[in-house]
């Protein structure tokens, strides 16, 4: 028994554990109920039954692979045929990442507490980044198609806007952890805001910023291929055409998937190595 006037620590701990288990059980029940209701709602609105269609899940891939295997001798030629479209897709991703990264750098510094040029406007710049992240690239691209027409330019702008919002958030979190002493030293000798950021903050955050930008470049290659489905050019557009034509062009589908897979693996390995050298210095 605990001394008089002191709480029973064991009883309090057991009560806290029971409370946590009860809350956890309630959340689990709510989660299962929401999942079940969502599935039933989607099942009711779907054109066909999900469970009835499960046996067909492997039918289309099997058809594609069987036709591609029968025409396997033509796949190397198909790969060379779609190589220029792949280069266009990578170029779209690279330009969009560069533009979005520059925008993210400016927005992040303006949205970072203690570093912002206009501290009262810090929440405004944070909301701007939130808005850029909230709208998917494909929605921005569809709007820009009506304004600029189809092509790579709407894709670059759409991916760059989303990249600015996504990277801006990450860049701001890195900048918040920067050592303020160099900034204070530059301010004491009369440096303006731009000079303080360029000489006092950028050298500290550059390795992590570049690491995040390389990671975003991988994501943007995939996004650029997806935007090809809505008429933005690149290898995604060729994939859409090949899949629309159906039988007789499935070897093209496989060739495009192989190109995308190999490209993403290469970019992933190069960016992993580059990030390791930037962050760890080896």
3-state secondary structure 201-220: HHHHHHHHHHHHHHHHHHHH
Confidence of residue 71 (pLDDT cuts 50, 70, 90): confident
HEC string of the chain equals CCCCCCCCHHHHHHHHHHHHHHHHHHHHHHHHHHHHHHHHHHHHHCCCCHHHHHHHHHHHHHHHHHHHHHCHHHHHHHHHHHHHHHHHHHHHHHHHHHHHHHHHHHHHHHCCCCCCCCHHHHHHHHHHHHHHHHCCHHHHHHHHHHHHCCCHHHHHHHHHHHHHHHHHHHHHHHHHCCCCHHHHHHHHCCCCHHHHHHHHHHHHHHHHHHHHHHHHHHHHHHHHHHHHHHCCCCHHHHHHHHHHHCCCCHHHHHHHHHHHHHHHHHHHHHHHHHHHHHHHCC
Confidence of residue 31 (pLDDT cuts 50, 70, 90): very high
Is the whole model's pTM more than 0.75, yes or no? yes
CA distance 17 to 145: 56
Percentage of residues in the chain having pLDDT higher than 70: 93
Q: What is the pLDDT of residue 251?
A: 84
Chain mean pLDDT for the chain: 84
Q: What is the pLDDT of residue 252?
A: 86
For residues 213-224, give the mean pLDDT.
88
CA distance 99 to 20: 47
For residues 226-252, give the mean pLDDT.
78
**Does residue 96 contact residue 89 with C-beta atoms inside 8 Å?**
no
Q: How many residues does the chain have?
A: 282
Give 243 or 168, the one with higher predicted confidence.
168
Q: What is the pLDDT of residue 2?
A: 53
Q: What is the pLDDT of residue 101?
A: 94
């Amino acid at each position: 028994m605990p001394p008089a006037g002191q709480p029973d620590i064991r009883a309090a701990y057991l009560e806290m554990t029971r409370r946590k288990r009860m809350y956890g059980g309630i959340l689990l029940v709510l989660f299962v109920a929401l999942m079940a209701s969502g599935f039933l709602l989607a099942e009711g609105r779907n054109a066909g039954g999900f469970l009835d269609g499960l046996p067909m899940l492997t039918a289309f891939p099997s058809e594609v692979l069987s036709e591609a295997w029968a025409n396997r001798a033509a796949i190397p030629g198909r790969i060379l045929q779609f190589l220029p479209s792949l280069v266009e897709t990578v170029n779209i991703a690279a330009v969009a990442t560069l533009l979005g990264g520059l925008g993210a750098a400016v927005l992040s510094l303006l949205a970072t507490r203690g570093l912002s040029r206009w501290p009262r406007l810090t929440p405004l710049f944070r909301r701007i980044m939130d808005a850029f992240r909230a709208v998917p690239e494909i929605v921005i691209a569809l709007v820009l198609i009506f304004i600029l027409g189809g092509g790579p330019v709407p894709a670059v702008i759409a991916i760059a806007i989303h990249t600015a919002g996504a990277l801006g958030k990450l860049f701001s979190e890195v900048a918040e952890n920067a050592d303020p002493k160099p900034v204070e030293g530059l301010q004491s000798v009369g440096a303006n805001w731009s000079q303080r950021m360029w000489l006092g903050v950028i050298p500290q955050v550059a390795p992590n910023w570049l690491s995040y930008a390389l990671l975003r470049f991988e994501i943007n290659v995939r996004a650029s291929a997806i935007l090809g489905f809505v008429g933005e050019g690149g290898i995604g557009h060729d994939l859409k055409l090949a899949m629309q034509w159906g039988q007789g062009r499935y070897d093209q589908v496989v060739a495009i998937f192989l190109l995308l897979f190999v490209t993403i693996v290469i970019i992933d390995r190069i960016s992993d190595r580059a990030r390791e050298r930037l962050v760890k210095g080896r």
